[in-house]
Amino acid sequence: MKFAPAKCHTIKLTQGRSTNSYIYKMQGIDLSSVDSHPYLGVELSKDLKWTKHITKTVNKANRTLGVVRRNLGRCSREVKAAAYTILVRPTLEYASSVWDPHQKGLIKMIEKPQRAAARFVTRNYDRTSSVTEMMKQLNWPSLEQRRKEARLTLFHKAVNKEIAVTIPAYVEENRRWQRNINNIGYKHLYCNRDDYHMSFLPRTIREWNLLPTELAENKSPESFKKLLVKYYNNM
């Protein structure tokens, strides 16, 4: 494999205020340093925040939704709903288990394209109408809820070794019985920074421990996902 130095960059991931600068070279050429850069479709920023990635994701989804509106405006509700779930929503959910935000502002930003799509599909632009009710009619859960279910499903697959993602050795099973923790729960990962506290493993472990034991013990990924959705819908 040949590398093109002009297309390669360096990025230093840190939350520190001051960093030591170092010039990396490839084939005798200095590599440029950048503040953010996409990697496998996810925008990584040097401050370990997801604001830039989420902004780009939402903008892309809005552009796609605009194309759908212009071309399918006269189609039936079923066609427009299918177009949204096939063309727009996957953009808003790509790799979301990694970047799922906890800040209210970012959560609302991600929800806006779906809420706009609900009005488009139902042809209801009345300001007094409830978009939440429209989404219930369409059987569309919030994207925040779908991201939570996706994280738990991914964790379930990792626990049961259904995927190549492994649970790190420092994640220990909770062998002591505790109220509100299922029989196959894990010890909480305590963090001194909010960014890590709300990242995938610590956050998902806390939610996993609150699941009913019979749900957490279900070995089938497909069955677990269906029961998980049903569990949250009945809460």
DSSP 31: P
pLDDT at 85 over 80: yes
Place of tokens 């959910």: 93
pLDDT at 84: 98
pLDDT at 125: 95
Number of domains within the chain = 3
Q: Who wins on pLDDT, 13 or 95? A: 95
Residue that is last in its domain, among 140, 162, 185 = 140
Same domain, 64 and 135: yes
Residue that is last in its domain, among 102, 121, 140 = 140
Helical spans, DSSP H, in the chain: 51-72, 77-83, 89-93, 96-99, 104-122, 131-137, 143-159, 194-197, 200-209, 213-216, 221-233
Residue that is last in its domain, among 140, 171, 200 = 140
Note down the domain range covering 167.
146-233
How far apart are alpha carbons 206 and 187 in whole angstroms? 9
Q: How confident is the model at residue 96 (pLDDT cuts 50, 70, 90)?
A: very high
The whole-angstrom distance between residue 181's C-alpha and the CA centroid of its chain comes to 24
- Give this prediction's pTM: 0.88
Type of residue numbered 146? R
pLDDT at 73: 93
